[in-house]
Each structure stands twice: as C-alpha cells, then as structure tokens.
Amino acid sequence: MTPLCALMLFLLVLGTLPVRGAEITVDLRSRVEAFKGTGDWQEVRLQQSLPVEKTAVLICDMWDKHWCRGATERVGGLVTRMAPFLESARKQGIQIIHAPSETMDFYQDAPQRKRILAIGPVDPPPPLVLPDPPLPIDDKGGGCDTQDQFYKAWTREHPGLRIAETDVISDSGAEIYSFLRERGIRNLLVMGVHVNMCILNRSFAIKKMTSWGIRCILVRDLTDAMYSPQDRPWVSHGQGT
C-alpha cells in the first residue's frame, strides 16, 4: 500500500466503538520510511484515544448510483455495513458529515444543508507541504471493472444512509473546514468511495484536509477503490483496493 503522510488507517469492528468516558479508542495502522529515500516503508500500529467532541465522520461520495455498475454494486454492500456504524457513532456524540459531491441541488432545502451554510467562513492556514507518492495501481482508464462508459448517474446520497437531524451536508472543502473549526473538531474519520480518487482528492477529502492540519483517519473497512484487474498490477479488485 502506498503511504500518504499523516494518513492513518482505522481498523475497527463494525458497529462498535470502544469508549472511555468522552473518548473513543481506535487501533491505527500506517507506514513509515525509517531510512529516508530508500523506498522501504514499514507498517506501524498504535492505539489512539480521540475526544468525541473533537471528532467527526465524513462520508465521501456514497451516491445512489455510479456510472460503473461494479462500483454501484459495491456501494450497495458498503451501505449495509456503514449504516450501523453511523448509528453507533451518533449515539456516542460524533458529528456526521455527508459529502455526496455534485448533488447539493437535491439538498438545497434540507436543514442539514442550511446549517452548514450558516457557518461563517474561516480562512484555512497556509497548507502544509507534504509528499504525494504515486499510487501502486493504474487507474488512468477510470478503474471500472465492469467495462461501462462514464455518464453522470448520481443525483443524491444513497438512501440507505440515514441523514439525522444533527448531521450536516456539504461537498465544499471550504464549508467543511469552516464547520470543523467552528466546532473545534480536529479528527476526521473518512469513509466511502473511492479511496484512490475522491477520498484522496476532493476539496473536502484527505489530501486537502491533511494539508490544513486536520488529522485524517481512513476507515479502511468502509472504503472501496476504482480499480480494474485488467490494469497494472493485474491483481484482483480486492487486492488492488
């Protein structure tokens, strides 16, 4: 797996988060290049306690339909596992942020959308300069494993994910950063699709938020990649992910 500076992988038991007071305790996994420039990255594991009031979940691009049939099918499977996790997180007071890109017209009248729009803009700090190593897979062809052609298939987030009264909705990095700062949130648990595209590169996602000083944690069990076994390194979709 290609490392990304400051990206930690959150390994979890779905639907349950161990709690200690007003904190959650998570098992993290990352990789470090102990001897700089060697390209030899070693896995490291650690436990971390996260204050609930300083932690949010961000759901990236879990659309109702994807242009790639294989991706749509896998999103449907993720929904059944993600929904109970979100309910558990809410019960423990963790803020939920829905970020289905390019669907804000659908939510223009939703109170969860209006709530984040009401937040005054907060200027982000100068971005951190972080390494951006190449991915270990070839996704230049779009990564669809069912050989479909691109079209804008999505209109909203998948209806299997409940949007609760306390949640917020946005697909803007500036809006979400301002919301996090207004709430004093430092930790962002990122889940959804796709880990090699939107989860890394959206304006609200891991690269941008990490560069602004937000601690991003990839919820590895609740992600998928856009990767076709017909492309390098010619492995199964699961292994490519």
Give strand pairing partners of 24.
Answer: 19, 50
Question: How many Cα atoms occupy the beta-carbon half-sphere of 91 within 13 Å?
Answer: 11
Count of residues in the chain: 241
pLDDT computed for residue 16 by the predictor: 47
- Please report the pLDDT score of residue 20 as a whole number: 52
- Neighbouring C-beta atoms of residue 65, cutoff 10 Å: 16
Residues of the chain with pLDDT under 50: 1-16
Tell me the per-residue pLDDT of 164-190, one tens digit each, with 9 for 90 and over. 999 999 999 999 999 999 999 999 999
Tell me: the pLDDT tens digits for 30-73? 988 889 888 888 999 999 999 999 999 999 999 999 999 999 99
Instruction: Determine the pLDDT at residue 8.
Output: 46
